Amino acid sequence: MIYDRRPDDMVRITTPALAEAYIEEQVEAIRAQVGPDGKVLLALSGGVDSSVCAALLLRAIGDRLISVHVNHGLLRKGEPEQVIEVFRDRLQANLIYVDATDRFLDKLAGVSDPEEKRHIIGAEFINVFAEEARKLEDVAFLGQGTIWPDILESEAGIKAHHNAGGLPEDIKERFELVEPVKILFKDEVRCVGKALGLPDSMVYRQPFPGPGLGVRCVGAITRDRLEAVRESDAILREEFAKAGLQGKVWQYFTVVPDFTSTGIKDGKRCDDWMVIIRAVNSLDATSATIEEVPYWLLLKIRDRIFREVSGVNRVLYDLSCKEPATIEYE
């Protein structure tokens, strides 16, 4: 059955058995909607919603699902590789991988205004995806990982939900939408993802903003600072996982501001970047408290950053809650 809205009396999907029943029902619904030959195109970011949507579509129509993973160069370390490994290698999905790093970084060069950065990243993403879509003339359906809170938020005027809205007219009018997780809350999407066999690191992934590391490389993005953000973030995530904090702390990441401070390296003055560690807990991102990260863990992360990330001479720990701070730096 294809639902337009979440039924008022719908049972919350919290168990593997309920997830299986949902999957079965949606597989039938997808097959009925797209027919025996219909093809579906999907932008697969590797986030929870698009990954679960892709896995469901894959279960229903196999290689008639064409997923496009756009690497905007602002993804976390290992993310594009994980999408390829899980979907192309493990699940045998028909996956188009586009490394558009240079395109994005060229457009972003010298741009320091956060909203302009967001706009450039969003617009360029649509350009890259639309270019891929235009190459696939025989595809009539567009899959989307819209979830129920997206719909509620756009109805309440809080935020326009990110999906097809931004696409150019020629693309929009060509496609019929397929949205198989549209009536689910986030915890239900995770439950369904787990039942579909997606790895925990994908299903229980912490929230990650669309503009990615771009808003954590404060000010105008440069490749060296972006690398410092990516490498320090990877160290932070690895050490949090080893300490059992993965999945327990709501969101944790590193930030590199666009100014240097004085330090000493090999007896000589060096003006290098600083890495800020941020770890917060929240229910819905409207407010946040800081995670009290154990001191020994902070020192271990500091030591690894100094050893493994070049161009960094200072590591700081952010004590700010939301409000007055926001979670991201820009």
Residue 326 binds ligand XMP (CB under 6 A):
yes
Residue 178 binds ligand XMP (CB under 6 A):
no
Residues near ligand XMP (CB under 6 A), total: 11
User: According to CB under 6 A, which one of 149, 166, 210, 263 is a site residue for ligand XMP?
Assistant: 210
**CB-based contacts of 241, cutoff 8 Å, min separation 6:** none
Which range, of 61-69, 165-173, 203-211, 267-275, touches ligand XMP by CB under 6 A? 203-211
User: According to CB under 6 A, which one of 118, 172, 194, 300 is a site residue for ligand XMP?
Assistant: 118
**Pairwise CA distance, residues 188 & 123, whole Å:** 30
**Pairwise CA distance, residues 92 & 112, whole Å:** 40
Q: According to CB under 6 A, which residues from 282 to 321 bind ligand XMP? A: 285
Residue 2 binds ligand XMP (CB under 6 A):
no
User: According to CB under 6 A, which one of 209, 247, 263, 311 is a site residue for ligand XMP?
Assistant: 209
Residue 145 binds ligand XMP (CB under 6 A):
no
Residue 255 binds ligand XMP (CB under 6 A):
no
CB distance 237 to 229 below 8 Å = no
* Minimum distance, C-beta of residue 290 to ligand XMP, in the bound complex (Å): 13
**Pairwise CA distance, residues 26 & 60, whole Å:** 8
For 291, the token pair is 């995670």
Q: Is 216 left (phi over 0), alpha (psi -120 to 50) or beta?
A: alpha
- Residue pointed to by tokens 């993802």: 193
Residue 47 binds ligand XMP (CB under 6 A):
no
Apex 158 CA angle, 157 and 160, nearest 5: 75
User: According to CB under 6 A, which one of 109, 207, 241, 289 is a site residue for ligand XMP?
Assistant: 207
For 246, the token pair is 């993965």
Residue 327 binds ligand XMP (CB under 6 A):
yes
Beta strand spans in 60-187 (E): 65-71, 94-99, 141-143, 176-178
Residue numbers at the binding site for ligand XMP (CB under 6 A): 118, 207, 209-211, 251, 285, 322, 326-328
